Structure 1
Amino acid sequence: MAKQLEVDLVGTDGTIWSGAARSLSAPASDGEIGILPGHTPVLSVLGRGSLRVTVEGSGGGSALSWVVEGGFLSVDDDQVTVVVDGVDDSATTPAA
């Protein structure tokens, strides 16, 4: 099993964030979805809510967070592509 995910977060204006991650949590239309390395392939519609990515780093990693306005998420072979309709820039901050 792979130890990390390769994540691409894309909006209407292009790439918002891209990089390696340990995990990802997203607001699926039917509830929160969590993705870890080795996850089965999935395609999910997203609703409005918080998208959180835990990235690799010294000392155990850090978390990033965006409030997304819907879109979809695709997972296949530890490659995660998140395409969002919009990002609420006023709510976009690193997670504490």
Structure 2
Amino acid sequence: MPAPLIEMRGITKSFGAVKANEAVDLSVAPGEILGLLGENGAGKTTLMNVLFGAYAPDAGEILIQGRPARITSSADALAAGIGMV
């Protein structure tokens, strides 16, 4: 079985005392379509901003095709084939 195309493990991001994401795991297989659903303030946009390099996670890691990826900017994300609208 192939590695997930994108994998986020243990992603945590806080803004002061507010934890927007706490130990979030997410994986997307090749060809899979994924929708993130949740209430306002649930952390969906923050998680995607971490994946796209707009925010640095406080903890956790991102893997692209099973390899650790360092995404610190939108340019890094785009180079890895990750786009955001």
TM-score normalised according to structure 1 size: 0.25
TM-score normalised according to structure 2 size: 0.27
Structure with a larger share of its residues in strand: 1
Structure with a larger share of its residues in helix: 2
State the structure with bigger RCO (CA 8 A, min sep 6), 1 or 2. Answer: 2
